[in-house]
Each structure stands twice: as structure tokens, then as C-alpha cells.
Amino acid sequence: MNADRQRGVALITALLVVAIATVAAVAMAARQQLDVRRTAGLLHGEQAWAYVLGAEDWAKVVLRRDALNSQVDTLSEDWSASPPVSLVEGGTIVGRLIDLQGRFNLNNLVQQSGAPDAQAIEYYKRLLRNLDLDERLADAVVDWIDPDINVRFPDGAEDGTYLSLEPPYRTANRLLVDASELRLVKGYDAAVLNRLRPHVVALPVRTAINVNTADAVVLSALAVGLTVADGAKLAEGRGEDGYPSVDSFRQDPVLKSKAVDASLLSVSTGWFMMLSEADIGEGRARLASRLQRLKGQVRVVSRQREFFDPVVPLPPDDTAPGP
């Protein structure tokens, strides 16, 4: 009887050992699979990051070559042609270059001295109206940028407005680093930002608008009395070769009897944004590289891994104002 009992105990012990060993083996295999997937994800992520950095280098080469061949920047040049989806080992990479001077520079609202720029403010108000937005939004941005603490009458906002919020914060009183900062400014909710974002930019220096790359909305704000339809005619009138000079643009029939300040305009560009995205296996990388081209040289001013502009451009109707 004792022998049977001992054999039963031994059998149970053996079963327990086998069960524990099985559980341990399954856990080790699962952990190994997890480690393999994690390692593959890290490797694919690093590979994807290397590809988007390569896209940035491509943009620098294309822009330098363009500066040697032409002093006029248009949407028909090599830099503007979005490269097709590139198939690489294990995945794809896509990207495009954006002319940032085809947009209104919000930092133009304030002069280098810190004083508000009346001409730029009027332009911005026309842009807001043409986007069916409230032109009173302009004063709040000027107060956010200018160095003083005086509230612009009647629609500005300084510390007194923002310190009453929860959580409280102060005005920046400096130039915008990125247009996304508008989300902190009075009146700029998500709907306003989505409407405005494709047409504005925040650059660290004063810039002119490239009339060869600006869209219909941006062009329509150049003078009093222009509509978005007029802006579309101006964009169509430049053709593939673009306007060779600011004077030729000002002679367009659409601008007849319209007062357009030549100092606001340009036919060339010094600021670009390279957007790129790589999907390699289980890894993904996105990069927005802000580039400055000056005297034929191109330098990276900033990089962002998260951004709002689509890597694949939207149809024009998706950014135009409603009826």
C-alpha cells in the first residue's frame, strides 16, 4: 500500500515538473517572439528614419541644382514635382516639397522694430475674409507677437485675457516659431486652424509671397476688391512657366486698377518644407524638414516628426473656402 502511495506521489511530482517545464518553455518562446518583434520594430524604425533623412538630402540637392538653373521658382520645376512612391526593400517612401513662401508669413504682421505692420495686417484681414473667417482674429495675433503689453483696440488680447483661463498662461510677445502656436491665441479654435493652416506659415524673417506658387486664396488677398475667383484667374494666368518678374504679374488684366505693393511679392523662394514618410516592415517614420536656401546653399533650419500638412497633397477643393 505504501509502495502504491509512493508511486502515486512520484507520478504526481513528475506531472507537476512536466507542467512547470511546459509553462516555462511556452513563456520563454512567447518572450522570445516578443523580443524578436520588438527588435524587428526597432530595426525597421531606424531604417525608416534613415530613409526620411535621405529624402531630406534629396531635397537639398534638388534645391541647390534648381538655384543654379533658374532664378524663378514655379510649380512646374523639378523640386515641386512630387516624387512617386518609391519602393524600397521591405516598404515604401513618399515625400513632397512645399514652397513656404507661397503662404502668408504670420510674422510679417510685426516689423523688425516690434511695431505692428499696418500693410501686412490689412493683407491678413483680407485673407481671413476670403476664407470666410472673422477679420477681428488679426488683432489677437498681432498682440501675441508684438513685444509690448498694450492691448490692440478693440479685439486684441494680452496677458489679462490668457491669465484668466484654466490653465493660465501669458502671451509669447515674440515671433511665432510655428503656425501651430495659433491654437493658443484668442479665437483660434480647431475649425479656424483647419481653415487657415494651408495658407499661412511662421518664418523667422520677413518674406515676400511667391506669386508663382501661391494658391488662389493667398493671391486673392493681395489687393482690395479681389475675390477667390480672381485669385484662381491669377494662378491660371501664370501658366507652367510662371510670371518671369513681379512687374509682369502686376500687369495681369485681373489686377487692372488694383493697388498691389510690389514689396509684398516675389517670383523666387528661399524657404521650403520637405515632407516625407517611410513605412518599412513594422516601422514608420515621418519628417518635416524646414529648409532655407540662401546664395545657392541649402541648410536645415528645423525638423519635426509630427506635422499637419499631408505628405500626399490634397485636392485643391479640400482647402478652398466654401460658397
Q: Is residue 108 part of a domain?
A: no
Q: Which range marks the domain in which residue 311 is found?
A: 2-101+270-318
Give the pLDDT confidence of 274-285 residue by residue, as tens digits.
999 999 988 899
- Is the predicted pLDDT of residue 286 greater than 80, yes or no? yes
* CATH number reported for the structural domain that contains residue 125 in this entry: 1.10.40.60
Q: Are residues 222 and 186 in the same domain?
A: no
Q: What confidence category does residue 12 fall into, taking pLDDT thresholds of 50, 70 and 90?
A: confident
Q: What confidence category does residue 245 fall into, taking pLDDT thresholds of 50, 70 and 90?
A: very high
Q: Are residues 259 and 275 in the same domain?
A: no
Give the closest residue to 59 by CA, choosing from 290, 305, 306.
290
Give the closest residue to 92 by CA, choosing from 310, 290, 276, 323.
276
Q: Is residue 109 part of a domain?
A: no
Q: Is residue 107 part of a domain?
A: no
Domain C-terminal end among 246, 264, 282 = 264
Give the pLDDT confidence of 87-104 residue by residue, as tens digits.
777 889 999 999 999 999
* CATH number reported for the structural domain that contains residue 51 in this entry: 3.30.1300.30
Q: What confidence category does residue 317 fall into, taking pLDDT thresholds of 50, 70 and 90?
A: low
Check residue 322 and give its pLDDT: 44
Give the closest residue to 219 by CA, choosing from 194, 238, 202, 197.
238
Structural domain tally of the chain? Answer: 3
Q: Are residues 42 and 10 in the same domain?
A: yes
Give the pLDDT confidence of 52-82 residue by residue, as tens digits.
999 999 999 999 999 999 899 999 998 987 6
Q: Are residues 47 and 66 in the same domain?
A: yes
Q: Is residue 309 part of a domain?
A: yes
Q: Is residue 70 part of a domain?
A: yes
Percent of the chain at pLDDT > 90 equals 67
Sign of CA dihedral 131, 223, 256, 235: negative
pTM confidence score: 0.84
